[in-house]
Amino acid sequence: MSKFRKYRVAVLLREVISDIVLHKMKDPRVQDVTITEVQMSSDLKSARVYFSCLASSDSEVTKHGLESALGFIRRELRHEVDLKYIPELSFFYDTSFDHSSKINRILKDLNIGDSESDQ
């Protein structure tokens, strides 16, 4: 399987799953969810779906909401995407935004500390 095909399928699934979560799901646990990335297995039969949510949302509650809607999401994927196999989906919280905000906060604190020592 070419890496390019895996990438194209992953991008397509990210777009379609985002659309399903945003427009077709009514579960309040997944209202503020953004699908950030999809990583496909080499045989395209399983996918790791990474999501992030607003700071006020609890990631575990959101993950349970997505997992409870797994059948609905796969059924909608079957209607929207023309693939031989609809992949098994696994949801994971994307911590990259948390890490970047932590780094920004540390850099801001260092910058404030430098400006105070200059005075």
pLDDT tens string 57-116 = 788 899 999 999 999 999 999 999 999 999 999 999 988 777 777 888 888 888 776 666
Examine residue 118 and state whether it is found in any structural domain, yes or no.
no
Examine residue 113 and state whether it is found in any structural domain, yes or no.
no
Examine residue 111 and state whether it is found in any structural domain, yes or no.
no
pLDDT tens string 20-65 = 999 999 998 888 899 999 999 999 999 999 999 876 678 889 999 9
Give the H or E element holding residue 104.
Answer: helix 96-118
Examine residue 59 and state whether it is found in any structural domain, yes or no.
yes
Note down the domain range covering 13.
3-94
Q: How many domains does the chain have?
A: 1
Find where tokens 């790791």 sit.
Answer: 48
Question: What is the percent of the chain where pLDDT is above 90?
Answer: 60
Examine residue 88 and state whether it is found in any structural domain, yes or no.
yes
Q: List, in order, residues 6 or more apart from 81 with CB less than 8 Å away.
A: 12, 13, 16
The CATH number linked to 39 is 3.30.300.20
Examine residue 106 and state whether it is found in any structural domain, yes or no.
no
Find where tokens 């911590």 sit.
Answer: 95
What CA–CA distance (Å, rounded) separates 104 from 94? Answer: 17
What CA–CA distance (Å, rounded) separates 49 from 66? Answer: 10
